[in-house]
Amino acid sequence: MSDPTASAPDAAPDENPQVAPANPYAAQPNPYVAPAYQPVPTVPGPAAPPPYVAGGVAYVTARRTNPLAIVSLVLSLSSLLFSITAIGGVITGHIALAQIKRTGDDGRGLAIAGVIVGYAMIAVLALSLVFFFAMFGLLFATVEGSTSFS
């Protein structure tokens, strides 16, 4: 019994009678024309919490604000009075941004504000320390040069 799908012995091995050869005169895509717009699939954001129903009335609960974002802003703003708290504001702000990215909590703006104010207050503290030590050194250089004990 012979296999009906086997090719005939007199046919060339590279010819397949079921596939038509490509048309060399077919229209080719123009490389100078922009391709058609393909919409990019978007990743959905965090799901909204289910509404809270009490007494036949639906109350929609707000999303949770990240507590470290609030702490970051409070520490950074309190650095106006106590300079050292700016470092805590920057650290908690960066931790809050990482948590917000992971969990989808609210408070990203608070965390960014805490980080920016914290870095600004650290810069002000560093510049004031440089100014203080420069003036202190200038004062002692002037006093040392003007006194003579002989």
Q: Which residue would you say has higher pLDDT here, 33 or 14?
A: 33
Which tokens go with 137? 């050194």
Q: What is the domain partition of the chain in residue ranges?
A: 67-144
pLDDT of residue 36: 76
Q: What is the pLDDT of residue 12?
A: 54
C-alpha to C-alpha distance for 106 and 69, rounded to whole angstroms:
9
Residue with tokens 């909590």: 105
Which pLDDT tens digit goes with each residue over 119-146? 999 999 999 999 999 998 888 887 766 6
pTM to 2 decimal places: 0.57
pLDDT of 24 > 80? The answer is no
pLDDT at 73: 97
Q: What are the structure tokens assigned to 13, written together?
A: 């091995």
CA distance 129 to 137: 12
Among 121, 68, 64, 66, which residue's Cα sits nearest to residue 93? 68
* Closest residue by Cα to residue 113 from 67, 78, 66, 74: 74
User: Which pLDDT tens digit goes with each residue over 50-99?
Assistant: 777 777 777 777 788 999 999 999 999 999 999 899 999 999 999 999 99
For residue 63, the model assigns a pLDDT of 82
Question: Out of 2-6, 99-103, 112-116, which region has the weakest mean confidence (pLDDT)?
Answer: 2-6
